[in-house]
Each structure stands twice: as structure tokens, then as C-alpha cells.
Homo-oligomer: A and B are copies of this chain.
């Protein structure tokens, strides 16, 4: 669920983003030519072009035929998938962006879960129940259930019967994959998460919109705080290690 692109391409994407950062390029600035980038990064032009195709599709760069490659926006101001990509690649989030992510998640999930209360079908309920079961088993066995966590949240969103809302929430969930993985290493947090999810299920089954709204706030905020604490502990421990982006 995490690894999206082939190593070489994602590597080149990362290097390109690093280049932009390092050289403090601003909106509208021109990047080196494809040929230049290719031998700068030690890869072929084909690989550079694949990476640029991805960056283009994320609206970060814009290739003007026979002219050059231009920065459409700052990487920090691209699409949501760009953030997911950056998170995958280990680019750390600053504090403000982390707060923004939490706020955005609460906004979207609150409304999606509220709609789920109104519109959930029995099939949705069954699906959630099934996920909850595997969830419990994994929690008991000490397995990391980061992916299942995402799946559960998306399944709730799907119960809103709004496919676009699901797609909106997906990247908001994915951009915190690293923190989530670390989170589920703790038995205590696994249990807490399981309890939270059971509460979600009960509220949606009972169609209790007010309750589900409260739960979203509580769940996201406490989970974010827990991850924050884990990140700080990890940073303290290995100080010079790879930074973790996170929510």
C-alpha cells in the first residue's frame, strides 16, 4: 500500500524535489534541462522523463515543448498526492503542515462519517464488522495493522456513498503512513485504536451523527498526539537518522 512507484523513478522524483528545495526555486523558475538532470542524477534521460511525467501530473512542474521545465508551484504547494509522495520518500513535514493535515482530516472525515450515519447500508455495516474482526485478531497477535487502519477509515468513508469524498480522504490518510506504522508497534496503542474503531462502528450502526463527530475529533487528535510523542522519542533516540514526516 505504501510503495507507489518504481525505485528508480521515485528516486529521481526525490532528487528533483531536493534540487528544487536546495536551489530555492520559486514558482515559475526554470529547472535544468532533462539532459542536464539526467547526468546530474546519474540516470538516463528516460528515467528523468518518467519522473517529470509524474511531477507534471501532480502539477508541480510544467514542461514547455522545446523551451524548458518550469516550476508550476512550490513542491510544498502542489497536489495532495505530492504530499503523499513526499511522505513516502521521507521528506519531513513542518509543524504547520502537520497541523493542517490534522485539521483537513477532521473536516473531511467528520462530514464523511456523518453522511455514513445517514446512508450506511447493511452491506457497509457487514464490511466494517469484518474489518473490525481482522483488526482485533491482528491487534491481539501484535501484528502491525497500519494498512487495515487505513482500510477501515476508507470503508467508513465509502459508507457515505460519496466516491469523491473517499478519494479526497485517501491521500489525507496515506500521507501519515510512516507515523501510523510506528504507532501500531505499541500494544497499548493497538488496543486503544481498536477501541476507537469499535466506537466508530457502534455510532455508525446507531446512526448517531453527533457522537461520530465527537469521535472523529477525539480519535484524530489523540492519535496525532501519540504519533507526535513517538516521533519526538525517535528523534531523540537516533538524532541523526532519517527524519519522519508525520501526522
Interface residues of A (CB under 8 A from B): 4-6, 9, 46, 49-51, 53-54, 56-59, 63, 65, 76-83, 85, 96-97, 100-101, 103-104, 107-108, 111-112, 115, 162-168, 170-172
Contact = CB atoms under 8 A, between A and B. Distances in A.
Contacts of A100: 162-165
Contacts of A57: 4-5, 54, 57-58, 81, 85
A78 B5 contact: no
A58 B79 contact: no
Contacts of A79: 81, 167, 170-171
Contacts of A81: 57-58, 79, 81
Nearest to A107: B111
A4 B163 contact: no
A172 to B, nearest CB: 7
Contact of A97 (B97, B111, B163): B163
A172 B163 contact: no
Given A107-B111, A108-B108, A80 B50 contact: no
